[in-house]
Amino acid sequence: MVTKVVMPRLSLTMKTGSVGKWYKHEGDRVEKGEPIVEIISEKATYDLEAPASGILRKIFVGEGEEAPVDAVIAVITAPGEQFPEVSKAPEEVAEAKERILASPAAKRLAREYGVDLSLVKGTGPEGRIVEEDVRRFIE
Protein backbone atom coordinates (compact mmCIF):
# COMPACT_ATOMS: atom_id res chain seq x y z
CA MET A 1 0.00 0.00 0.00
CA VAL A 2 1.28 3.45 -0.90
CA THR A 3 1.35 5.91 2.00
CA LYS A 4 1.80 9.60 1.37
CA VAL A 5 3.94 11.65 3.73
CA VAL A 6 2.51 15.17 3.79
CA MET A 7 3.73 18.52 5.06
CA PRO A 8 2.06 18.92 8.47
CA ARG A 9 0.29 22.04 9.73
CA LEU A 10 2.22 22.99 12.87
CA SER A 11 0.11 26.04 13.68
CA LEU A 12 -3.21 27.55 12.65
CA THR A 13 -1.49 30.18 10.53
CA MET A 14 1.11 27.94 8.90
CA LYS A 15 0.85 27.94 5.10
CA THR A 16 4.21 26.40 4.16
CA GLY A 17 7.01 24.50 5.84
CA SER A 18 10.61 23.71 5.00
CA VAL A 19 12.45 20.42 5.11
CA GLY A 20 15.43 20.81 7.41
CA LYS A 21 17.00 17.37 7.21
CA TRP A 22 15.93 13.96 6.02
CA TYR A 23 16.91 11.33 8.60
CA LYS A 24 16.18 8.59 6.07
CA HIS A 25 17.02 8.37 2.38
CA GLU A 26 15.17 6.95 -0.62
CA GLY A 27 15.23 3.17 -0.39
CA ASP A 28 15.66 3.07 3.40
CA ARG A 29 13.37 0.95 5.56
CA VAL A 30 11.24 3.00 7.98
CA GLU A 31 9.07 1.99 10.90
CA LYS A 32 5.76 3.63 11.78
CA GLY A 33 6.37 6.33 14.41
CA GLU A 34 10.07 6.66 13.60
CA PRO A 35 11.25 10.24 12.91
CA ILE A 36 12.08 10.50 9.21
CA VAL A 37 12.36 14.22 8.50
CA GLU A 38 12.86 17.53 10.29
CA ILE A 39 10.17 20.09 9.41
CA ILE A 40 10.80 23.79 10.02
CA SER A 41 8.07 26.42 10.26
CA GLU A 42 8.20 30.06 11.27
CA LYS A 43 7.50 29.12 14.87
CA ALA A 44 8.74 25.58 15.41
CA THR A 45 11.00 22.73 14.39
CA TYR A 46 9.33 19.33 14.36
CA ASP A 47 10.47 15.77 13.73
CA LEU A 48 7.83 14.24 11.46
CA GLU A 49 7.27 10.55 12.11
CA ALA A 50 6.65 7.91 9.47
CA PRO A 51 2.89 7.38 9.12
CA ALA A 52 3.47 3.73 8.14
CA SER A 53 6.17 1.07 8.07
CA GLY A 54 7.79 0.21 4.75
CA ILE A 55 10.32 1.60 2.31
CA LEU A 56 10.83 5.34 1.84
CA ARG A 57 10.34 5.02 -1.90
CA LYS A 58 10.46 8.61 -3.16
CA ILE A 59 11.31 12.02 -1.67
CA PHE A 60 9.67 14.94 -3.48
CA VAL A 61 10.87 17.84 -1.30
CA GLY A 62 14.59 17.99 -0.63
CA GLU A 63 16.49 19.47 2.27
CA GLY A 64 16.16 23.25 2.38
CA GLU A 65 13.11 23.21 0.10
CA GLU A 66 9.72 24.59 1.03
CA ALA A 67 6.29 23.03 0.46
CA PRO A 68 2.72 24.08 1.20
CA VAL A 69 0.83 22.45 4.07
CA ASP A 70 -0.70 19.11 3.00
CA ALA A 71 1.65 18.77 0.01
CA VAL A 72 3.03 15.29 -0.52
CA ILE A 73 6.71 15.44 0.45
CA ALA A 74 7.49 11.71 0.20
CA VAL A 75 6.00 8.26 -0.39
CA ILE A 76 6.33 5.08 1.66
CA THR A 77 5.48 1.70 0.12
CA ALA A 78 5.59 -1.92 1.15
CA PRO A 79 8.89 -3.65 0.29
CA GLY A 80 8.99 -4.51 -3.43
CA GLU A 81 5.83 -2.56 -4.17
CA GLN A 82 5.78 -0.09 -7.05
CA PHE A 83 3.98 3.18 -6.67
CA PRO A 84 1.94 5.31 -9.06
CA GLU A 85 2.85 8.91 -9.86
CA VAL A 86 2.01 11.10 -6.87
CA SER A 87 1.35 14.82 -7.13
CA LYS A 88 3.12 17.36 -4.94
CA ALA A 89 -0.06 19.43 -4.89
CA PRO A 90 -2.10 19.69 -1.68
CA GLU A 91 -4.47 16.82 -1.00
CA GLU A 92 -7.83 17.20 -2.68
CA VAL A 93 -10.58 17.72 -0.18
CA ALA A 94 -13.12 14.94 -0.60
CA GLU A 95 -16.05 17.03 0.44
CA ALA A 96 -16.65 20.71 -0.11
CA LYS A 97 -16.24 22.70 3.05
CA GLU A 98 -19.49 23.67 4.69
CA ARG A 99 -20.16 27.39 4.68
CA ILE A 100 -19.49 28.96 8.05
CA LEU A 101 -21.94 31.60 9.23
CA ALA A 102 -20.13 34.38 11.07
CA SER A 103 -20.66 38.07 11.62
CA PRO A 104 -18.23 40.48 9.94
CA ALA A 105 -16.83 41.45 13.36
CA ALA A 106 -16.24 37.78 14.21
CA LYS A 107 -14.50 37.21 10.86
CA ARG A 108 -12.28 40.25 11.38
CA LEU A 109 -11.29 39.19 14.90
CA ALA A 110 -10.64 35.62 13.77
CA ARG A 111 -8.44 36.89 10.95
CA GLU A 112 -6.49 39.14 13.36
CA TYR A 113 -5.78 36.25 15.73
CA GLY A 114 -5.40 33.51 13.11
CA VAL A 115 -8.41 31.58 14.39
CA ASP A 116 -9.96 28.90 12.19
CA LEU A 117 -13.68 29.66 12.41
CA SER A 118 -14.57 26.01 11.78
CA LEU A 119 -13.28 25.34 15.32
CA VAL A 120 -15.51 27.97 16.97
CA LYS A 121 -18.99 27.11 18.22
CA GLY A 122 -21.49 29.78 17.25
CA THR A 123 -24.07 31.03 19.74
CA GLY A 124 -25.83 33.56 17.52
CA PRO A 125 -29.02 33.09 15.52
CA GLU A 126 -28.98 29.83 13.51
CA GLY A 127 -25.58 28.96 15.03
CA ARG A 128 -23.93 32.07 13.59
CA ILE A 129 -20.52 32.85 15.07
CA VAL A 130 -20.49 36.25 16.73
CA GLU A 131 -17.56 38.33 17.96
CA GLU A 132 -18.02 37.13 21.55
CA ASP A 133 -17.70 33.48 20.42
CA VAL A 134 -14.31 34.24 18.87
CA ARG A 135 -13.18 36.13 21.98
CA ARG A 136 -14.19 33.17 24.15
CA PHE A 137 -12.29 30.80 21.84
CA ILE A 138 -9.12 32.93 22.00
CA GLU A 139 -9.14 32.86 25.81
The structural domain count of the chain equals 2
Q: Are residues 7 and 71 in the same domain?
A: yes
Mark residue 137 as left, alpha or beta (left: phi above 0; alpha: psi -120 to 50; beta: remaining). Answer: alpha
Q: Are residues 112 and 47 in the same domain?
A: no
How far apart are the C-alpha atoms of 20 and 63, rounded to whole Å? 5
Residue 130 lies in a domain: yes
Q: Are residues 15 and 64 in the same domain?
A: yes
Domain of 131? 104-138
The CATH number of the domain where 51 resides is what? Answer: 2.40.50.100
The CATH number of the domain where 125 resides is what? Answer: 4.10.320.10
- pTM of the shown model: 0.59
Residue 67 lies in a domain: yes
Each of the 139 residues of the chain gets a pLDDT tens digit; together they read 788 899 998 888 888 999 999 999 999 999 999 999 999 988 889 999 999 999 999 999 999 999 998 888 999 999 888 766 544 444 433 333 457 888 999 988 888 888 888 888 899 988 899 999 999 888 7
